[in-house]
């Protein structure tokens, strides 16, 4: 860190939870903050010029009283590989009926039903959002022979300076089979066997996948959500799973965390829930990548260069 910012004074602090404080001294003098939540003193941090998040999601900073000159960057790119792996794992687990296979094994039941003898090559996968995670999911799915369509507010476009853990050229972007904007969402949903949600939770995307969107999916379609739960309307998702309209769902972020014992998603049919682990923060690669991103941005900040993964000011405002 000393090499990236010679002469900088570094003050280690305990992780800041929601509403946590860092102390008046740091609030008055700090110019760079590496944290996952805005501190209680955010409105008083007039010298703060840059906040680096350790997470891809940034909804906790929406509406935060930061100075207008403060730049916020997220950890987009750091968790792309494990999240894409999670998506592939869940596509195969649900598409090949792994939960039912395991149930048959627990019951000591020899079951060679045709439902266990399907093939997923050619599956029509829809990726909602084409940021770093959406692009990595697209790469993985295309490599496995899936047909990938994308729906994104801005379509497939240059996203500016973004962190890539593999340091690929900026123009190394996967090409989906089809690209849809939000105006064509009904057509997008109608042509899918599986929908993967990768868009961040913002005032524009909260509840984006509601009853109308779920009904537009073909009967038996799968839904995978490694992104924020709030992008999908909870009552609509429960109804679609209970009715059998959705063939299955894999959910990593949840409406209540930790999930209480009476949470309906524990027992919904053909539903896999994981404890917000798709980003694999426990992987040694995560620590390497998050520090690689932070130090890269610290060098750029020190040199006065544009930072990677800047969150647009409009996306941090309350909608």
pLDDT of residue 171: 85
Q: How many helices (H) and strands (E) does the chain have?
A: 8, 10
Q: Are 76 and 131 in contact (CB under 8 A)?
A: yes
**Looking at residue 319, what is its pLDDT?**
65
What secondary structure does DSSP assign to 71-126, as a single string? EEE--TTTTHHHHHHHHHHHHHHHHTTHHHHHHHHHTT-----GGGS---TT-EEE
- Residue by residue, DSSP assigns 19-62 as T----HHHHHH-SEEE-SS--TTGGG-TT--EEE-SSS--GGGT
Asked if 224 contacts 196 with a C-beta cutoff of 8 angstroms, the reply is: yes
Token pair in block for residue 63: 């509406």
Look up residue 279 and give its two tokens: 């980003």
pLDDT at 80: 95
Report d(CA 165, CA 213) in Å as an integer: 33
Q: Which CATH class is domain 24-77+282-314?
A: alpha beta
Domain-wise residue ranges, the chain: 24-77+282-314, 80-273
> What pLDDT is attached to residue 128?
98
Same fold? 24-77+282-314, 80-273: yes
The whole-number mean pLDDT for each consecutive block of 10 residues of the chain, a chain of 319 residues, reads: 88 91 95 96 97 94 95 96 98 97 97 96 98 96 98 78 91 94 96 98 94 99 98 98 98 98 96 97 93 97 97 88
* Phi/psi of residue 195, nearest 5 degrees: -115, 125
CATH superfamily of 80-273: NAD(P)-binding Rossmann-like Domain (3.40.50.720)
| Contact assessment for residue 240 and residue 213, using Cβ atoms and an 8 Å cutoff | no
pLDDT at 84: 98
């Amino acid at each position: 860190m000393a090499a990236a910012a010679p002469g900088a004074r570094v003050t280690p602090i305990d992780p800041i939870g929601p509403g946590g404080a860092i102390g008046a001294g740091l609030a008055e003098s700090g110019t760079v903050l590496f944290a996952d939540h805005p501190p209680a003193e955010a409105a008083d941090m007039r010298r703060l010029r840059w906040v680096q998040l350790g997470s891809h999601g940034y909804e906790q900073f929406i509406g935060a009283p930061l100075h207008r000159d403060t730049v916020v960057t997220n950890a987009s790119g750091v968790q792309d590989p494990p999240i894409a792996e999670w998506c592939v794992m869940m596509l195969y687990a649900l598409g090949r009926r792994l939960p039912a296979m395991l149930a048959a094994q627990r019951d000591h039941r020899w079951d060679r039903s045709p439902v266990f003898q399907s093939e997923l090559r050619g599956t029509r996968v829809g990726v909602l959002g084409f940021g770093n995670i959406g692009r990595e999911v697209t790469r993985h799915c295309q490599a496995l022979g899936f047909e990938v369509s994308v729906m994104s507010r801005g379509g497939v476009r240059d996203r500016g300076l973004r962190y890539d853990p593999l340091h690929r050229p900026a123009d190394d972007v996967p090409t989906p089979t089809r690209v849809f904007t939000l105006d064509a969402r009904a057509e997008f949903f109608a042509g899918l066997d599986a929908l993967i949600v990768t868009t961040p939770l913002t005032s524009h995307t909260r509840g984006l996948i509601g009853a109308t969107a779920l009904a537009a999916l073909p009967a038996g379609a799968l839904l995978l959500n490694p992104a924020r739960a709030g992008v999908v309307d909870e009552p609509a998702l429960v109804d679609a799973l209970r009715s059998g309209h959705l063939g299955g769902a894999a959910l990593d972020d949840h409406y209540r965390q930790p999930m209480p014992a009476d949470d309906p998603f524990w027992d919904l049919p053909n539903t896999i829930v994981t404890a917000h682990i798709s980003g694999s923060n426990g992987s040694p690669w995560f620590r390497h990548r998050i520090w690689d991103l932070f130090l890269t941005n610290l060098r750029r900040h020190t040199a006065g260069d544009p930072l990677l993964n800047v969150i647009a000011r409009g996306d941090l405002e309350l909608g």
